[in-house]
Amino acid sequence: MSTNNFATISSKWEYVLPPSRPTICELQRIESIISRFDKNKPVAVLGSTIEFRTLLNRMGFKDIYVFEKNMDFYEWTGEWCAYGSKNEKVVAGDWCTTIGRISEKFQFILSDLTMGNIEYSKRKKLYKDIFDALQYGGMFIDKVLTNERQLLSLKEIEDKYKNLPINLETVNMFNCEALFGSELLKDGIIDTTQFYEKLRKAYTDNLVLTMFIEKCHLITPEECIWYYGVEWEKLRADYFAYYSSNTAFDDVKGSPYYGRTKQFINIK
């Protein structure tokens, strides 16, 4: 989410389900990969991701850096962290500034759907700063919304959701596909106020879709901006520019983000 999104989104976060958050499969993969790292040396998380902070504490990591723009959001998410803020050091401020101050410090950095928060023009520098903050042999483990499958038409979304029950699971699915995987992204930016207006106009005569739109506000409010929609082929060169190797994992089949997100293991 963009800098201006945090105050709006924090009170809604408890309604957000995977894959808009780390999935069990992704967390198990991360645990397997990072189990070999020294528990006493520094590691980092981009944002206040509850699942990552809990995992790192459970595994016994003693020096966890959390990069967070909004301290209110950090404090709120702490209510869902089984270990609280144990072993954590918070680095407050804009990632585009704070990470660049650190050099060759972290064994790995964890990130889940964070790049959509960063304007396209600022990403190349941030990618370099993240790379520079890693120790040699360190990893940047990051889930990215690449949307490499064709974007869904509003007609396809209508045909799918008009016959589905309305509950927290299906509303989360609708959120992933209508706001983050549909033809509305063709301009390369998600403006939720504009998107909701377009969805209301498209589905004005369908009571079920109208209800999906209303309930989707529980997950993604209006007045938020994300930077998604530019084709991944135009972005990938900058993303991978500095790493010696990388491995990609797709989301599981049946997920609303299957073919749309990848978890990347990037090695310095």
pLDDT given for residue 11 in this prediction: 55
Q: How far apart are CA 138 and CA 145, in angstroms?
A: 23
Amino acid in position 182: S
The pLDDT, as a whole number, for residue 9 is: 55
- Tens digit of each residue's pLDDT (9 = 90 or more) over 146-202: 999 999 999 999 999 999 999 999 999 999 999 999 999 999 999 999 999 999 999
8 Å CB contact between 51 and 28: no
| The predicted structure's pLDDT at residue 46 | 98
**pLDDT at residue number 13:** 85
DSSP element (H, E) containing 81: none
% the chain with pLDDT above 70: 96
Distance, CA of 185 to CA of 78 (rounded, Å): 32
Is residue 131 within 8 A of residue 103, CB to CB? The reply is no
CA proximity to 113, closest of 92, 142, 81 = 142
Residue 8 pLDDT grade (very low, low, confident, very high; cuts 50, 70, 90): low
Q: pLDDT of 230-253, one tens digit each?
A: 999 999 999 999 999 999 999 999
pTM over cut 0.85: yes
Q: What is the pLDDT of residue 2?
A: 40
